[in-house]
Structure 1
Amino acid sequence: MQALTSFFMCLFFLFSLLRISAATALVTITPSGYLRDGETLVSVGGSYELGFFSPGKSKSRYLGIWYTFSTDAVVWVANRGTPLGDSSGLLKLTEQGVLVLLNSSNSIVWSSNSSRIAGNPISQLLDSGNLVVQDGKETNPDNFLWQSFDYPCDTFLPEMKLGWDLVTGFERSVSSWNSTEDPAPGEFLARMDQHGLPQFFVMKGAKIQARGGSWNGLFFTGYGYGVREPNPISGSEYLTEYGYGVREPNPISGSEFVMNKDEVYYDYRLENMSTFSRYVLNTSGVIERFTWLYQTHSWELALFLTGPCESYALCGPFSSCTINSNSAICACLKGFVPKSLKDWNSGYWSDGCVRRTPLACSDGDGFVKYSGIKLPDTSSSWFDKSMSLSECRGLCWGNCSCTACANLDIRDGGSGCVLWFGNLTDIREFTLGGGQDLYIRIAASELDHVKKKSNFNKRQLLAILLSSAVFLMGLLIVGIILYIRKKKLRCEGHRRKDCRDEYLREDGEEMELPLFDLTTIAKATDNFSSCNKLGEGGFGPVYKGTLLGGKEIAVKRLSKNSGQGMREFKTEVILIARLQHRNLVKLLGCCIQKDEKILIYEFMPSKSLDFYIFDQEGQKLLDWPKCFHIIGGVARGLLYLHQDSRLRIIHRDLKPSNILLDDNMNPKISDFGLAKTFGGDQSQANTNIVVGTYGYMSPEYVVDGIFSMKSDVFSFGVILIEMLSRKKNRGFRHPNHDHNLLGHAWILWIQDKPLELIDKTFCDSCNMSEVVRCLHVGLLCVQRVPEDRPSMSSVVLMLSSCDVLPPPKQPGFYTERSIHESPTRTLPCSENTFSTMMIEAR
C-alpha cells in the first residue's frame, strides 16, 4: 500500500511539472513585472497557482487561486464583487508593495493594502496557498506586508486563521459564494463570535444558522470527536465528530485554538504535506470538507455539516437535540417540562422547556451531570482558566443566577470553569460519544427524582402507592389530634387575645409562627438586663440571651414608642421566616404575648459591620481578604432578595449596622422592618413617607419617594466605598472641598488617583487591582440616575470576573454642602445608629 501511494505521488508531481512547463508560469512578481490573463503564478512546491479564470458558464473574469492538479477547485478570489468583462486583466505590484488589478482602461478593479512601505517588495504564492507581499526575502508571516490568508473567501485552508485580532479589531471569517458561477460574497458567513466564551457560528445575515460550539482544548463541542453511529436518515455511517456525512478518517492531525489578550482564533494542520484537504462553506450555508484522492484523481466529499440538530436552537431553551431513530429529536432536560405541551407534541419545539420545580437558591439545589454534550450557547457565559471543577461548581452553587457549569478545558482530567446564567440554549447530546460533561443545576427534589431507578412493575408500584397512602392517612390523623390538643392547652393558659395572636395573616392566609414564651425570653436575657444589651436601633433595643440548653440568641424588643406597629412587625417576621439564604439573618421565632412584640434571631458573635469599618479597634481585625469576602456575601444576599426569592424584596435600610457577622465573618443582612415586596412584574413604587438612613438613601427616594431595587444598589455602593475608605459618607469632611464621601471618591476617580481613597491599613493585605475594581463597582452603584446603576446580578459578576467595566457617571448628591454646616451641630436625629419612620430620614 505504501508503494502504491508513493507511485501515485510521483505521478502527481510529474504531472505538475509538465503542466508548469507547458504554460507560461511565474514564481514571483516584482515592481518591474506583471501577470497577464493567460499567465499564472505558481507556488514553489507546485501545489497552487494564481491566475485568471471564469467560473462555470460565466464569461466574467476573476483573479483567483486554485490547485495545480485541480483547476476547478478555486480556494481564493481577489475581485469577488468586481469581475472583469474581458481577458485584458493585468496584475501589478507597485513600488510601495501594493498589488493592483487593472482592467483594459488601466483602472484599478481591486488592490491589496499595506500599512508599511517596502524597500524591495516582491509577491509570491506560498505552498500553503497563501498569496503574500513581502519585503525582500522576509519569511516571517508576522512581517508580511499583506497576505491573502487575512481575507478568506469560501474556503478555509490549513494554516489559515479564523477569528479576531483583538488589538486592531480585525476579523478573519469565511463567506459563501453567491452562486456556483458568482464568487461574490453570499448570504452565509462562518465566523468566530467573541462574546462570552468564544464559539464558532454560521450566520445567515444577522441570524445564527448553526453553532459549532466553544473550544474545550481538543475540539469544538458541537462537533464531537469521531464516534461512528448509524445515520437515521440514509442508513449509512457517519461520525458524530461533525454530524451527518463523515465518510473517512480525518486527515487533520493538529488543531489549535488561541485565546489571549491579543487575539482569538482557530487554525489546523494536515498530517503530511502530500495530503490536501479543505473546508468549504457552500452556497446553502453547509460546511463541507473535501479530501484529494490520488487513486481516483478527484475530490472526495469527506464531511458535510448538516442535519436537524445543526439548526441553531431547534429545540428551544432547556432542551436537547438527539439524533436517535427510537425517539423524538427534541427532549426536555431532566427536571424540566415543555413550556407548551400542545405545541411540543405537535413538533413545534422552539418554545423549549421550563423548570418543573423552581430553584431554592444555594440551599437545596444540586447538579445533574450530562455526558457527551454540545455545550449550550456561551454568548452570555462567564469563564475562568485557572479554576478546578469543584471550585467551578461551588461558585455556581453560591450564585443564585447560575444555571449550569462545565470545565473550560477537558485535557488532563479537566481544568478551568464556564458558568451559564439564564436560559441554556442549543444543547445537543451525542449518544455514542463525543461532546463533554455539563452540570445543570436543578432543585433538590428533582435531583432525588433523577436518581431513583424506575425498575418497578405495575403490581409493585400499586402496592407501594396503597401502603404509602394508608401510612400518610394515619400520620395525618395523628397530626390533627396532636395539633388540636396542643392548641387547646395553649388557649387554656393564655387570654383569648393571646391565642388569636399566635397567628399572623398575610393576604388572608394564616401563618403559624415559632413562638417563644415571654418568661423564657426574660430569663434568657436576665430580665432584659442592660449588661446584655447589644445595641439599640430605631425600633428598640437588642439583647443577647442564652436559652436553657446554652444556645445563644439575639432578642430584638420593639419599644412601644418606636413607631413600628403590628404591620411593620408582621413584615419583618413574615419576610425573614420565608427567606432562606446564607447571607440573610435567620429568624428563630417571636413573642407577642401581652403588649410585647419581640423577635428572636440567631446570635451573631462578631457584631455588625460598622464596628469593623468605623471603630479604630475593629479596623485592625478587618484585612482585605475578609473585607472582600464580606462585600461578595452582601452582594449575593441582595441578589437573592431582588431576584431569586418568591417576591422581589426591597430592603430600604441597608447600612453597615444592619449587616451582622458570624464566627467566620460571613455577612448576614438583617432588620427587614422597612422592607417592601414587589410582584413579579413590578419594578418600582412610590411612598409618601420616606424611611431609611441619611447617607445611604438614593436621590430619587429622598426627593420623590420613588424606591426600587436600584435604591438598594445605591445603598450597597455607599457601603462599598465606606469599607474601602473606612470613613462615613454622612459627616465626611475634607480640607479642600465640601463634598460628602461619594463626591470625594468621584473627584479622586476623575483625577485618576483612586488609591488615595483607600485606607492605608489595607496596603499590607490587599490586591490593589481588586481594590480598585471594587471602588469602580461602588461608583457604578451610586450613579445619580437609577437606570445607569447595575443590577445586583451584574454586580456579583463584576466582582468575580476580570471583564472590562463601563466608566462610571457622576454620583448622586454630588453637590457641595454649605460652608456654614458643621458636623458637630445638634441634629434632630442620630447619624447612623437607627432608622426612622418620619418624613426626615437620617
Structure 2
Amino acid sequence: MDIFASVFLSSSLLVFSFVSSDAADSITQSRFLSDIENTTLVSKDRGFVLWFFSPGNSNNRYLGIWYNNIPGKFRVVWVANRLKPIPDSSGVLMVNSAGSLVLLSQNETVSWSANSTKQARNPIVELLVSGNLVLREEDEENPENYLWQSFDYPSDTWLPGMKLGWDLRTGLERRLTEWKSLDDPSPGEMSWGIEVHNYPELVMEKGSQKYFRSGPWNGIFFSGMPWLQASPLFNYTFVSNKDEVHFMFEITKISVIARAVLNQSMYLTYVWVDGEWEVYLSLPRDECDVYNFCGAYGNCIISESPICQCVEGFKPVSRGTGDPEEWSRGCEGKSQLSCEDKDKIGFLKLVGLKMPATTYSWLNESMNLGECRVKCLNNCSCMAFANSYIRDGGSGCAIWFGDLTDIRQMPPYRQDANSQDVYIRMPASEQANSIKKEVKNKQKTKVVVIVVVAIAVVFGVLMIPYCIWKRSNFRGEDLISFDFSNRATERGLINKKRTGKGRTKEMELPLFSFSSVSTATNYFSASNKLGEGGFGPVYKGSLLNGQLVAVKRLSRKSGQGWEELKNEAMLIAKLQHKNLVKLLGCCIERDEKILIYEYLPNKSLDYFLFDPIRRGIKDWATRTHIIEGIVQGLLYLHQYSRLQIIHRDLKASNILLDKDMNPKISDFGLARIFCGNGSQATNRIVGTYGYMSPEYAMEGLFSIKSDVFSFGVLLLEILSGKKNTGFYQSDSINLIGYAWNLWKSNRSLELMDPILGDTPPTNVFLSYINIALLCVQENAVDRPTISDVISMFNKEPALLPSPKKPAFSFGRGMEDLGSSKRKPEICSLNDMTVSILEAR
C-alpha cells in the first residue's frame, strides 16, 4: 500500500468555512446531535467540531471530530464508529437514560457507544479546545475527572496532550491505527504505540510484524530519536511507573497548530504553516530505521557502504551473492563465549548507538554501572548492559538477553554529555584485540596528522614557483583530474584504481577483471545484449556464484566517457537506497570502461508504459507504488544522501523495475553533486529532450528543481500512458500542453490511461494531475521541492496551489533547443538504460 493513500478526505466531503447555526456546545439527556438535522458540537474556542460525514467515495456515514479553524476542507482527527458505519443519514448521538453516550442508527440500532467507567447521574458531553470529546458529571468539582474521553481511543491522529501508551491499572491501551483507505476509516494494518516490557519503547507495526522501533527512553529522549531533545516547537513527556506507561507531546507556542498522523507506510508530524500542512517529521527516515535491517549484531550506518557493518568483535554469518539483503542474517561472534570462566569474558564499550531492541531486557533504576556489570557478568544469557538513564553522568541498569538486534549508529548529538554507551559481552581476547586496534588507530591518526602538517608546510613552500609556472601552462584535463581526486577524498573513497596514464585515483568499488566480465556475458555475445544507450551496449551476465548482473560497457564512439563513468561510479558506490539501482563493481582493464549493476528482470518503466504490445501496468495500485518509489528515491538524492545529488536525466527509461515492480532510479552518469540552494550553471547541456527543464535546456542552469520538472513530466506519462515527446494534439506540441488544455477546461479525467483496470478515485487522480502541472511550471521558483510533492500527495485538490502555465506546452519545439528533428522514440528496448545525449 502506498504512502499517498493517507487519511486526507476527498472532495465529496461537505465543506463550509463556519460553524453551523445549529451548533451546540454540549450534549445532555435533553439535547442530542442528529445527522439528518445537520446539528454539530463545537469546542468553546470553535477550533474543533463534532459532525457526521462520508469519507471519499463512500456513502456510509461516520461521526468524527474535525478541525474547524483550518481553511478549506475540514480535517478529521477522530472517528467514533470506525467499525460500524451507518448506511444512511439516520445517525443520532445522544446520552441515554442510563447515562451512557451512544450513537444510534435506524431502528435505534447501536452503532457505537462510549465505555464509561461508571454510570453518570447528571451527564454532560463536551468537546474541549484540545479536540478531546469528554463525558463527565455536570456538577463534578474537578472538571478533568472524566467518565470517558475520546483521547483514550485514538484513531489515526495524535493531538497535543493526548497520551499514547497504557493504563496498567485498567489494561487500557492508547494506540494509533491507520485508516484502511480514503473511503474506509476502519483500522488498517499499521499501528503505532508503546510496547510494554521491562524497558518500554515506541513501536510501529505492520500487522504482527515490527516496522520501526524508537529505542528505549534514556531520560531525555528515545535512543533512536535524539532530535527530540532539541525540538523548538514541542515538549515531550515520557512516564513509566507501576500505574501507567505513556508518551505525549505539547506545543511550546500557543499560535502553532500541529498533529501527528499514521498512514499506510509511515508516521508523520505536521505543522500548520502559511495556510498548509508542512511535514515536520516522518518515520521511518531511511533504511536504517527499518526494524532489524542488518540482523543480529549488525550495526546500520547510513553513511557507510555497505550500510550494514558488524559491531566490533563480530563477523558476518554468511556472504553468498554479496547482496546487501543478506545482512538480515546478521553477525556472529568471532570466538566462542565461555560462561564458566569469567576471567575470559570482557565487555566492549560502544558509543553513540541506538540501543538494541528491548523485548528481552531487564531494568533496575537503583543500580549503578559497576553493579550492572557484575549482574550481567554473572548471567550467562546477558549479552550487554548499559546505564538506563543518561542524566547527570548516567544511572540505573539495563541488561539485554539473547542476540542484540536493530542497532544503528546515530549521528553525533552532544556525545560528550548525552551519550548512552552500551557494553557488549565478548571473549576477553576479542576485547583486548579491539582495544589494541583502537589504540593503534589513535596513534596512527596522531602520526598521520603530524606527517600531513609537515608535508603541507614543505609542499606549500615548494609549490609556490610551480604554481607560477603552472598558471601559464594550464590545461583543462588537469582541472578534471584534480577535481576527481578531491571529490574522492572528500567522500572517503578508499580503494585505488588505475588510470590510462598510470596514475592512481581514490575509489571505493569492487574491481572485476575483464576476463571475468567477458565470461559472465558469454564474451559480450549478441544473445546476451539487453540494449544500447548513450553510454554504450548493456549485456546480461551471470557471475560465478550465479548472481545475475547487468553489464554496461562504454563504447569508444560514445559521447560519454571517463567523466560520466567517474560520476556514476563515485555516486552510486556511496548511495544506498531501496529505490536506487545498486552498482556492484567496475572493470577498467585494457582501456575498457565497464560498470556492473544488479540485474532487474522487469525492464524499464517505459517498456510497460509505451510498448504497444506489452503495456502491462493495468492496476492503479501498481502505478501509485511506482510513483511512491520514485519520489522516495529522489527525496534521498536531494535531501538525505551525504551530498545533495541532482540526477539531470530522470525519465521513464531510467526507472528500472525489479521482480516485484519496485522502481529503482538508474543512470547517474549525468548526475551532479550540488552545493547550494540556488542554481548552478554548466556549458555542457546533456540529457533527454522532453524531460529537461527550460532553464537547463536554454541557459544551462540546473538545480533540484530541474529534477522536479523531469518528475512532473514522468508523472504525467505514468498517469496517461502516453509519452511526452511522442504524443501530439492539434493545439499542443506534447503531453504537457495537452494536459494543460484539459486542466483549464476541467476535463483532466480524460487524461487517464484507458487500459487501467481499476479506476482511481476522482479526487486522487485530479490531485496527481495538479501536482504534475505544479512540477512543470515555467519558473523553477514556482515548482515545489520533492519533499513538498510528498506532502501534496496527502492533500485534497482544493487545498493544492493552482498551477501556472507549464513550460514547453505551446509553440516551443525541438528547433528552439537547436536539436535536429527526429522521430520520437516509443520505448526503450533495454533493461539497463542510459542517458541520451542531445546535440545543442
TM-score, length-normalised on structure 2?
A: 0.51
Instruction: Work out whether residues 644 and 674 of structure 2, in 8 Å CA contact, stay in contact via their aligned partners in 1.
Output: yes
Where do 5+ consecutive residues of structure 1 fail to align? 1-146, 176-187, 207-212, 220-249, 259-265, 293-298, 355-369, 385-391, 397-401, 406-418, 426-439, 482-500
1:521, distance to aligned residue in structure 2 (A): 0.2
For residue 100 of structure 2, give the secondary structure of its aligned residue in structure 1.
strand
**Cα–Cα, structure 1 residues 710 and 525, in superposed 2: closer, same or farther, change >3 Å?**
same
Instruction: Tell me the residue number matched to 1:835.
Output: 835
Higher relative contact order (CA 8 A, sep 6+): 2
1:650, distance to aligned residue in structure 2 (A): 1.7
* TM-superposition CA deviations, 1:736-765 (whole Å, max 9, x none): 324222101211222222343334333x44
**Structure 2 Cα separation of the partners of residues 772 and 319 of structure 1:** 37
Is the counterpart of residue 611 in structure 1 residue 607 in structure 2? yes
Instruction: Tell me the residue number matched to 1:660.
Output: 656
Is the counterpart of residue 754 in structure 1 residue 754 in structure 2? no
Number of positions where the alignment pairs a residue of Structure 1 with one of Structure 2 = 538
1:571 pairs, out of 567, 572, 575, with 567
**Structure 1 Cα separation of the partners of residues 65 and 47 of structure 2:** 11
1:723, distance to aligned residue in structure 2 (A): 3.0
**Cα–Cα, structure 1 residues 305 and 441, in superposed 2: closer, same or farther, change >3 Å?**
farther
Is the counterpart of residue 510 in structure 1 residue 493 in structure 2? yes
Higher-Rg member (1/2): 1
Instruction: Tell me the residue number matched to 1:636.
Output: 632
Instruction: Tell me the residue number matched to 2:373.
Output: 458
Instruction: Work out whether residues 269 and 281 of structure 2, in 8 Å CA contact, stay in contact via their aligned partners in 1.
Output: no
**Cα–Cα, structure 1 residues 683 and 572, in superposed 2: closer, same or farther, change >3 Å?**
same
2:539 pairs, out of 514, 535, 543, with 543
Is the counterpart of residue 448 in structure 1 residue 356 in structure 2? yes
Instruction: Tell me the residue number matched to 1:471.
Output: 430
1:351, distance to aligned residue in structure 2 (A): 6.7
Letter paired with 2:784:
P
Where do 5+ consecutive residues of structure 2 fail to align? 1-18, 56-62, 83-96, 106-112, 152-158, 169-216, 238-243, 252-256, 271-276, 284-288, 294-298, 300-353, 364-370, 379-383, 385-422, 441-483, 495-507, 829-833
**Structure 2 Cα separation of the partners of residues 751 and 579 of structure 1:** 43
**Structure 2 Cα separation of the partners of residues 201 and 468 of structure 1:** 59
Instruction: Work out whether residues 403 and 441 of structure 1, in 8 Å CA contact, stay in contact via their aligned partners in 2.
Output: no
For residue 505 of structure 1, give the secondary structure of its aligned residue in structure 2.
helix
Letter paired with 1:505:
A
Instruction: Work out whether residues 198 and 214 of structure 1, in 8 Å CA contact, stay in contact via their aligned partners in 2.
Output: yes
**Structure 1 Cα separation of the partners of residues 652 and 574 of structure 2:** 23
Instruction: Tell me the residue number matched to 1:228.
Output: none
**Structure 2 Cα separation of the partners of residues 423 and 163 of structure 1:** 38
For residue 549 of structure 2, give the secondary structure of its aligned residue in structure 1.
strand
**Cα–Cα, structure 1 residues 458 and 550, in superposed 2: closer, same or farther, change >3 Å?**
closer
**Cα–Cα, structure 1 residues 823 and 319, in superposed 2: closer, same or farther, change >3 Å?**
same
Is the counterpart of residue 301 in structure 1 residue 141 in structure 2? yes
Is the counterpart of residue 790 in structure 1 residue 784 in structure 2? yes
Is the counterpart of residue 678 in structure 1 residue 593 in structure 2? no
Matches within 5 A, 1:13-412: 150=22, 173-175=42-44, 191-192=48-49, 215=78, 217=80, 253-254=100-101, 275=122, 277=124, 291=137, 299-304=139-144, 331-337=220-226, 372-374=246-248, 379=258, 381-382=260-261, 392=264, 395-396=265-266, 402=267
1:673, distance to aligned residue in structure 2 (A): 1.1
Is the counterpart of residue 521 in structure 1 residue 517 in structure 2? yes
**Structure 1 Cα separation of the partners of residues 24 and 817 of structure 2:** 70
**Structure 2 Cα separation of the partners of residues 590 and 771 of structure 1:** 42
Instruction: Tell me the residue number matched to 1:716.
Output: 711
* TM-superposition CA deviations, 1:332-357 (whole Å, max 9, x none): 2342347669xx9xxxx977589xxx
Instruction: Work out whether residues 317 and 352 of structure 1, in 8 Å CA contact, stay in contact via their aligned partners in 2.
Output: no
* TM-superposition CA deviations, 1:285-343 (whole Å, max 9, x none): 99999846xxxxxx55143489xxx9xxxx9999999999xxx99842342347669xx
**Structure 1 Cα separation of the partners of residues 42 and 638 of structure 2:** 41
Instruction: Tell me the residue number matched to 1:816.
Output: 811
1:732, distance to aligned residue in structure 2 (A): 3.2
**Cα–Cα, structure 1 residues 256 and 784, in superposed 2: closer, same or farther, change >3 Å?**
farther
For residue 580 of structure 1, give the secondary structure of its aligned residue in structure 2.
coil
Instruction: Tell me the residue number matched to 2:690.
Output: 695
1:422 pairs, out of 271, 275, 280, with 280
**Structure 2 Cα separation of the partners of residues 190 and 669 of structure 1:** 44
1:547, distance to aligned residue in structure 2 (A): 1.8
Instruction: Work out whether residues 260 and 269 of structure 2, in 8 Å CA contact, stay in contact via their aligned partners in 1.
Output: no
Instruction: Tell me the residue number matched to 1:61.
Output: none
**Structure 2 Cα separation of the partners of residues 286 and 731 of structure 1:** 55
**Structure 1 Cα separation of the partners of residues 751 and 128 of structure 2:** 55
Instruction: Tell me the residue number matched to 1:429.
Output: none
Letter paired with 2:372:
N
* TM-superposition CA deviations, 1:171-215 (whole Å, max 9, x none): 86454xxxxxxxxxxxx6764499x99868999xx9xxxxxx954
1:507, distance to aligned residue in structure 2 (A): 1.7
**Structure 2 Cα separation of the partners of residues 166 and 685 of structure 1:** 60
Instruction: Tell me the residue number matched to 2:6.
Output: none
* TM-superposition CA deviations, 1:702-746 (whole Å, max 9, x none): 233332222222212212222333332224332x32422210121
**Structure 1 Cα separation of the partners of residues 20 and 653 of structure 2:** 65
**Structure 1 Cα separation of the partners of residues 769 and 489 of structure 2:** 41
Instruction: Tell me the residue number matched to 2:760.
Output: 767
**Cα–Cα, structure 1 residues 795 and 543, in superposed 2: closer, same or farther, change >3 Å?**
same
**Cα–Cα, structure 1 residues 151 and 771, in superposed 2: closer, same or farther, change >3 Å?**
closer
* TM-superposition CA deviations, 1:549-606 (whole Å, max 9, x none): 3322100112344344444323212322222222221111112224222111111222
1:653, distance to aligned residue in structure 2 (A): 0.3
Letter paired with 1:678:
F
**Structure 2 Cα separation of the partners of residues 163 and 710 of structure 1:** 50
Is the counterpart of residue 739 in structure 1 residue 733 in structure 2? yes
Question: Percent identity, aligned pairs only?
Answer: 35
**Cα–Cα, structure 1 residues 503 and 709, in superposed 2: closer, same or farther, change >3 Å?**
closer
Instruction: Work out whether residues 318 and 352 of structure 1, in 8 Å CA contact, stay in contact via their aligned partners in 2.
Output: no
